[in-house]
């Protein structure tokens, strides 16, 4: 939201791409999505960072709110 507020729309869009890549990687590890974060490589080469997320079974119980 801060990027949008400051008019940095391309940076805000890239944040959404990284969030989508994280979700894709999570779904890939659950065998629900075929490609994981690699599906986003055509958009940005540094998307591989999202593939390095660690498995933490305890985090599945944490609920986030804004």
Q: CA-to-CA distance for 50 and 6, rounded, in angstroms? A: 25
pTM of the model: 0.67
Q: CA-to-CA distance for 35 and 28, rounded, in angstroms? A: 6
Give CATH superfamily name and number for 2-51: DOCK DHR2 domain, lobe A (1.25.40.410)
Q: CA-to-CA distance for 36 and 29, rounded, in angstroms? A: 8
Question: Token pair of 28, please?
Answer: 């890939």
The per-residue pLDDT for 51 is 72
- Running DSSP on this structure, what letter comes out for residue 4? H
pLDDT tens digits along 9-40: 888 888 899 899 989 988 998 999 998 888 88
């Amino acid at each position: 939201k801060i990027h949008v507020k400051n008019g940095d729309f391309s940076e805000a869009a890239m944040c959404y791409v990284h969030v989508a890549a994280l979700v894709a990687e999570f779904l890939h590890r659950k065998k629900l999505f075929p490609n994981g974060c690699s599906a986003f490589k055509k958009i940005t080469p540094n998307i591989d960072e999202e593939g390095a997320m660690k498995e933490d079974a305890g985090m599945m119980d944490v609920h986030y709110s804004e």
